[in-house]
């Protein structure tokens, strides 16, 4: 039977030091480390259902607040949100937990960070789990060559404009959260966040509207660990066509689970499916 108790009052709150930037994370359970990274607009609580499932099955589930969000530091300036720094934040959390490697899990921008951790820090990556964030090369290709994806990325191009944060309402940022009690917590978290910092992820890392497709000979470092991907097929921000060719960028087994009826926030739209599949997939790869 699913445990319905909320993790909110059960997690321990900890901080990692990423070269002077304080990164907050919530932790639950004991066992092999699983580091979970949220996206936009979100915070650590996005993973509440998965944290419970992982902790109940013998893992230590750690959910990060990305820099700029909730209880983590919010450095000013677009340059402070460049991908190598975001990767460093996750490495700092793994180090703070005093282990060498972790399962890295990410959704949306957290998925982008997770892909990059696996590519740039293979020594700390045990396994990789991604929710609704195709490989960055697939996204770049689709934005450049698929007119529908380019049209659906309009919001992200708008976020890249200099004063974009001024037009954003915190209440609107919580509209995707369906549970009223959770929505209150989201509003509180966003009030403690920096909206300009949230958009700096797009300014620093998202393809530009006129960017050409990646050249055929462009190579990413291949991900050297098994990968599990979930993709809610109702996602309008990131269309599933970007999943095509993912196998070119990974060296080990790749499992892609498409989820009809789920949208961009697949871990909240289909929490039991995501949690159960995650636990099962991990249990088959105990190392």
Question: For 174-196, how does the pLDDT look when each residue is reduced to its tens digit (9 = 90+)?
Answer: 999 999 999 999 999 999 999 99
Task: Give the residue numbers spanning the domain of 229.
Answer: 12-283
CATH number for the domain spanning 69: value is 3.40.50.1820
**Residue 3: is its pLDDT beyond 60?**
no
Is the preceding omega at residue 41 within 30 degrees of 0, hence cis?
Answer: yes
Q: Is the pLDDT at 165 greater than 60, yes or no?
A: yes
Q: Rounded mean pLDDT of 31-40?
A: 98
Looking at the structure of the chain, the number of domains it has is 1
**What is the rounded average pLDDT of the residues 282-287?**
87
pLDDT greater than 90 at residue 278: yes
Q: What is the pLDDT, as a whole number, of residue 4?
A: 57
Question: What does the pLDDT look like over 82-127, one tens digit per residue?
Answer: 999 999 999 999 999 999 999 999 999 999 999 999 999 999 999 9
Give the percent of the chain with pLDDT over 90: 93
34: nearest Cα among 26, 42, 23, 45: 26
Taking Cα atoms as reference points, which of 201, 214, 276 lies closest to residue 249? 214
pTM: 0.96
The answer to the question of residue 4 being in a domain is no
pLDDT value at residue 215: 78
- Locus of tokens 């990325």: 153
Q: Residue 217: its pLDDT value, please? A: 76
In a domain, 164, yes or no: yes
Query: 213: left (phi > 0), else alpha (psi -120 to 50), else beta?
Result: beta
Q: How far apart are the first and last CA of the chain?
A: 28
User: Cα(234)–Cα(20) distance, rounded to whole angstroms?
Assistant: 39
Average of pLDDT values for 68-74?
98
Give percent of the chain with pLDDT exceeding 70.
98
**Does any domain span residue 6?**
no
β-strands 227-232, 102-107 pairing: unpaired
Asked whether 115 and 128 are in contact (CB, 8 A), the reply is: yes
pLDDT of residue 286: 78
Tell me the per-residue pLDDT of 232-266, one tens digit each, with 9 for 90 and over: 999 999 999 999 999 999 999 999 999 999 999 99
What DSSP letter does each residue of 141-175 carry, written as one string? HHHHH-HHHHHHTHHHHHHTSTTGGGG--HHHHTT
- Burial (CB < 10 A; 0-12, 13-18, 19+), residue 144, is middle
Residue 92 lies in a domain: yes
Question: What are 258-274's pLDDT values in tens digits?
Answer: 999 999 999 999 999 99
Minimum mean pLDDT range among 47-51, 74-78, 178-182, 231-235: 178-182
pLDDT at site 213: 79
Q: Is residue 1 part of a domain?
A: no
């Amino acid at each position: 039977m699913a445990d319905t108790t909320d993790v909110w009052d059960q997690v321990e709150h900890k901080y990692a030091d990423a070269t002077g930037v304080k990164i907050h994370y919530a932790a639950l359970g004991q066992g092999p480390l699983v580091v979970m990274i949220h996206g936009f607009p979100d915070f650590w609580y996005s993973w509440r259902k998965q944290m419970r499932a992982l902790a109940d099955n013998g893992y230590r589930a750690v959910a990060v607040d990305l820099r700029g969000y909730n209880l983590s530091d919010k450095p000013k300036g677009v340059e402070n949100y460049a991908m190598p720094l975001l990767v460093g934040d996750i490495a700092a959390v793994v180090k703070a937990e005093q282990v060498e490697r972790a399962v890295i899990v990410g959704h949306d921008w957290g998925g982008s960070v997770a892909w990059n951790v696996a590519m740039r820090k293979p020594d700390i990556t045990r396994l990789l789990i991604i929710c609704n964030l195709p490989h960055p090369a697939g996204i770049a290709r689709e934005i450049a060559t698929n007119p529908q994806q380019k049209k659906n990325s309009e919001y992200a191009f708008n976020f890249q404009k200099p004063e974009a944060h001024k037009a954003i309402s915190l209440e609107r940022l919580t509209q995707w959260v369906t549970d009223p009690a959770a929505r209150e917590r989201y509003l509180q978290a966003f009030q403690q966040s920096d909206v300009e910092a949230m958009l700096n992820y797009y300014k620093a890392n998202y393809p530009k509207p006129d960017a050409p497709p990646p050249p055929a000979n462009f190579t990413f470092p291949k991900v050297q660990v098994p990968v599990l991907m979930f993709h809610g097929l109702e996602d309008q921000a990131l269309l599933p066509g970007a999943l095509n060719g993912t196998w070119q960028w990974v060296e080990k087994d790749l499992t892609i689970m498409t989820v009809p009826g789920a949208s961009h926030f697949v871990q909240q739209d289909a929490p039991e499916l995501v949690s159960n599949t995650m636990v099962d997939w991990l249990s088959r790869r105990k190392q």
